[in-house]
Structure formats: structure tokens, C-alpha cells
Amino acid sequence: MHTQWTEKLADGTSVLIRPIRPDDTERERAFIEGLSQQSRYFRFLDAMRSPSSSLIKQLTEIDQSRDAAFAALIGADPSQRIIGVARYSLCGDGESCECAVSVADEFQRRGLGTLLMRHLIEHARARGIKSLYSLDAADNGSMWGFAKRLGFEHKIDEQDSTLVVHRLKIAAA
């Protein structure tokens, strides 16, 4: 797989896509803090204003043997900024993973989330993962439509009706 590559969004904006790295800590912090309160809540199911250092470490120091995280960046080094991230974390069964995607508010509805998720799905498929799921706020209407367009099925969480589980079964590569 490519280490990094450039993609064009629906509006023609060029973005660099690459695996997130430990040296992205400040970029990741700025990305999360730059999200609207609603976007932060929908991504983390928490109304935090600023992520803790331990959360930033968890989000940028990826165990490549189990997990994957891809960042979309714009700008030139050293002022590149993250405008979207998609990630998954392998579950204990070794066949499924939890996934998440988040896009900076000003870049939403330009195809970036779809681009990141399609790549994440292909990455999971190539690794032999059989399904992906995400746990989201039931009132996140945008996520319902987004997940449906990508082929995810959904159901309300049996233990918490304020949450919905979106699940995608994928075939091996």
C-alpha cells in the first residue's frame, strides 16, 4: 500500500492522505480543538473542549499490527494541518474492528469522509478483517446517511437507546 498519496475532493481541493504518525500530536490536537462542539461530540460522544495528552497519544501512536489511522492534510510542511481522520481498531476476535471518521467542519460535504472511509475499508479488507462497526449518537442524522451510502447497516444499541451501531460486513480481498 502507498505510504502517502494525493487525492482531489469534489471541489478540486488537493489533500495529502497518509498514515497518522507520532509527530502529528500538535496537528491532531489542533484538528480536534478546531471541530465544532457538535462535531467533537459526534466523534467522541463527549463534549470535551480539548483532548487530554493521553488521548492525543492514543490517537497518534498507532499499533500498526492491529490498528490503522489515516489523516488528510492540506498545506505545505511545516504548516500542514489535519482536516480529516479515519481509523479503525481491531477487536479481540481478530475479525472485526471499530472504526471512526471525522472531518473538519469547513471540509464536510466535499467527499473527504467518503474518500477516507473507502480507503479504510479497503485497508481492512486487505488485512482479512470481516466487519467494521461504529458506535454513534442516534441523533447524528448525517452519520446515518453517510453510513447507509457506504453500505453499513444500523440498529439502535440494545443497552443505550441514545446510540446506534453501524455495521459493515466486508468480503476478503
Instruction: Indicate which CATH number applies to the domain containing 131.
Output: 3.40.630.30
> In whole angstroms, what is the distance from residue 116 CA to residue 162 CA?
26
> What is residue 37's predicted lDDT score, i.e. its pLDDT?
95
The per-residue pLDDT for range 37-47, each reduced to its tens digit, is 999 999 999 88
Q: What is the pTM of this model?
A: 0.94
Phi (first) and psi of residue 121, to 5 degrees: -60, -45
Confidence of residue 22 (pLDDT cuts 50, 70, 90): very high
Number of compact structural domains in the chain: 1
Helix axes 112-126, 141-149, angle to 10 degrees: 50
How high is the mean pLDDT of the chain? Answer: 94
Please say if the pLDDT value at position 157 is more than 60.
yes
Which spans in 10-111 are helix H? 25-34, 37-44, 53-60
Please say if the pLDDT value at position 130 is more than 70.
yes
> In whole angstroms, what is the distance from residue 47 CA to residue 50 CA?
9
What cell numbers appear for 102 in the block? 471525522
What domain range includes position 136?
Answer: 5-169
